[in-house]
Structure 1
Amino acid sequence: MSAKGVAVRAGLRRTRIELRQMFTDPQGLATLFLFPALIMIALFFMRNGTFQSTGYGLAVLALPGVMGTIVFFNGVYTIGESFVLDREDGTLLRAKATPNGMIGYFIGRIGTNATAVLVQVMAVLGAGTIIVGGVSLNSARSWIVLVWVLVLGLLATLPLGALLGAVVGTARGLFFVTMPLMLVVGVSGIFYPITALPGWLQSIAQVLPCYWLGLGLRSALLPADAVSIEIGQSWRHLETAGVLGAWALVGLVLAPIVLGRMARNESGSKMDERRDKALARAY
């Protein structure tokens, strides 16, 4: 087997080990399902509300957006945080010292985060179907749309998270990225049809992957006649695939380049310097 093949196997083994640790650790499970649980509580109290005069339930419309937010925020922020923490504790430096270790590390980190996101999404979908109702996932077409939207959504967001972690570099810096990310989610129309936003915000939102994640998931989960409250009264599947695919392409091209450069610049002395600065701030 080639060296790269060995690295891929090491990455898959890393994914398996980290997932086993996550699902057998009570604290890890609590962290994983805390956000979905809080969201379900919020949707429960929204279940009797309706969107404007359409008659569609607010909670039903928000459920696909919640799933899309989990994909986006965890895909971008959580994996970025993982890269930052691994950089600070020396995990990245050890991966760099191993032949093709960065390949295995990257595969392992992507695999762990992608699986965690999908588990959260499925938990929200299952609980939402029971608590909120109104989900119309009753045909092969709906399931196919759900799968390709989730896959493209992960491909569009996870590499961006890796880029974010590589560029920001510190946990302190990553903290200040949280609010801009929440702003992106807020203006994207992911929780409700974008037609409820002003026209200029609609234009901005349609550049972002958030909006298309929400639209794609609504097309999979909502009744067919719900398309009447979308732009052009269309689910725009081709545009959804195009925009998410474009973001995925950009991320997959840039992430290895930026991560490779970051790994080349990593050293024990720089890691010690960051640790000393963190300790100085703490005291």
Structure 2
Amino acid sequence: MLPDSALRTTALGAVPLPAPLRRCAALVRHNTALLLGEPGPLASRMILPLVFVTLLRPLYTAAEGTAAGTVQAVTGTLITFSLLALSIVGGSILTERLWHTWDRLRATTAHPLEILAGKAVPVLAALLAQQAVVLGFGALALGLRLDHLPLLGAALLCWTLTLLGLGSALGVLARSHGELSAGYDIGGMLLSSLGGAFVPLSALPHWVRTIAPASPGYWGAGALRAALAGEAPRVLECCAVLLGFALATALVAARGLLRASARTAL
């Protein structure tokens, strides 16, 4: 448990920071230590995608050609396993709730949004690292071309913010680790499949293509593929929709935590 004194102190000789930033920095350090203390889930989300992309790439290249097949294999695997990494986001919040340490954090001077920010920053870095590993492997081992890095960076950031929102909402709404597991397993596979991660949408039934835009995975995959192709207008369109998903799910998470805090106060 992070003591309230850790939210107030500043290193000797350091430039004083505003109180909210000081509290957020302390929470970021605390949650980074917790994340690194249990590296298994994060390591599995980094290693397994490399195995899958290696095994699936020959199938896609045989069907679509080397360049298109490589893009399909890498982006599809990235979208799928980053959605499964919702377990990292949601688990960090659910554990606080089940251990009742969330209530103790709320008893400190930290605002709920500061607590969420303290949890979000380490997970944001972890998710970006996971995606960088997959793309780097694709570039170094499979010949994936990364010619438009600014567009790719924008697509990855917007997609990761969406994952943070989805995972936070899932961690707030789930009542047990079993529910959380079902949520990210079923939800992750469903959203990635609707996004065309495993099978290109052009090969799926018409009704699937019709409802696909309701899935964040559709826009995430679209943003990544457009970024790799250098299609800036499409990247901007997909990023705008992803930010909408991120904002909506973040509001759900924040409202749920604020209501839980209000019930505790009563």
TM-score, normalising length: structure 2: 0.81
- 1:248 aligned partner: 246
- What is the CA distance between 1:190 and its match in structure 2? 2.6
1:147 has 2:145 as partner:
no
Contact 1:70–1:117 (CA under 8 A) maintained in structure 2: no
Instruction: Tell me the distance in 1 between the aligned counterparts of 2:114 and 2:218.
Output: 32
- In the comparison of the two structures, how many residue pairs are matched? 249
Amino acid at match of 2:58: N
CA 1:128–1:237 in structure 2 vs 1: closer, same or farther (change >3 Å)? closer
Contact 1:110–1:158 (CA under 8 A) maintained in structure 2: yes
Flag structure 2 segments of 5+ consecutive residues without an equivalent.
Answer: 1-7, 9-16
Amino acid at match of 2:101: T
1:165 has 2:171 as partner:
yes
Instruction: Tell me the distance in 2 between the aligned counterparts of 1:77 and 1:150.
Output: 19
- Pick one of 46, 51, 73 that aligns with 1:41: 51
Q: Higher mean Cα deviation, 105-114 or 153-162?
A: 153-162
- What is the CA distance between 1:238 and its match in structure 2? 4.0
- What is the CA distance between 1:98 and its match in structure 2? 1.0
Contact 1:7–1:103 (CA under 8 A) maintained in structure 2: no
**Relative contact order higher in (CA < 8 Å, ≥ 6 apart):** 1
Instruction: Tell me the distance in 2 between the aligned counterparts of 1:197 and 1:12.
Output: 46
Amino acid at match of 2:160: L
- Secondary structure at 1:172's aligned position in 2? helix
Instruction: Tell me the distance in 1 between the aligned counterparts of 2:177 and 2:20.
Output: 28
Structure 1 runs (4+) deviating above 6 angstroms are none
- What is the CA distance between 1:123 and its match in structure 2? 1.3
- 2:255 aligned partner: 257
1:136 has 2:149 as partner:
no
- What is the CA distance between 1:20 and its match in structure 2? 4.7
- Pick one of 14, 26, 37 that aligns with 1:13: 26
Instruction: Tell me the distance in 2 between the aligned counterparts of 1:191 and 1:266.
Output: 44
CA 1:265–1:169 in structure 2 vs 1: closer, same or farther (change >3 Å)? farther
Amino acid at match of 1:54: E
- Pick one of 197, 214, 218 that aligns with 2:221: 214
Amino acid at match of 1:65: G
Contact 2:75–2:224 (CA under 8 A) maintained in structure 1: yes
- What is the CA distance between 1:154 and its match in structure 2? 2.2
Amino acid at match of 2:258: G
State the identity %.
Answer: 26
CA root-mean-square deviation: 2.8
- What is the CA distance between 1:210 and its match in structure 2? 0.6
Q: C-alpha deviations, 1:57-104, integer Å up to 9, x for none?
A: 534322122223344332x43211211111111220111111234233
Amino acid at match of 1:136: R
CA 1:9–1:73 in structure 2 vs 1: closer, same or farther (change >3 Å)? farther
1:181 has 2:188 as partner:
yes
Amino acid at match of 1:90: H
1:68 has 2:49 as partner:
no
Instruction: Tell me the distance in 1 between the aligned counterparts of 2:186 and 2:50.
Output: 23
Q: How does 1:23-42 map to 2 (within 5 A)?
A: 23=36, 25=37, 28=39, 30-42=40-52
CA 1:99–1:20 in structure 2 vs 1: closer, same or farther (change >3 Å)? closer
- What is the CA distance between 1:254 and its match in structure 2? 3.1
Contact 1:70–1:121 (CA under 8 A) maintained in structure 2: no
- Secondary structure at 2:20's aligned position in 1? helix
Contact 1:156–1:245 (CA under 8 A) maintained in structure 2: yes
Q: C-alpha deviations, 1:189-223, integer Å up to 9, x for none?
A: 134532121111112111111111111112223x5
- Secondary structure at 2:59's aligned position in 1? coil
Instruction: Tell me the distance in 2 between the aligned counterparts of 1:55 and 1:176.
Output: 36
Instruction: Tell me the distance in 2 between the aligned counterparts of 1:202 and 1:55.
Output: 23
Instruction: Tell me the distance in 1 between the aligned counterparts of 2:187 and 2:113.
Output: 30
Flag structure 1 segments of 5+ consecutive residues without an equivalent.
Answer: 228-233, 268-283
Instruction: Tell me the distance in 2 between the aligned counterparts of 1:50 and 1:176.
Output: 29
- 1:86 aligned partner: 96
CA 1:50–1:210 in structure 2 vs 1: closer, same or farther (change >3 Å)? closer
Contact 2:82–2:131 (CA under 8 A) maintained in structure 1: yes
- 2:4 aligned partner: none
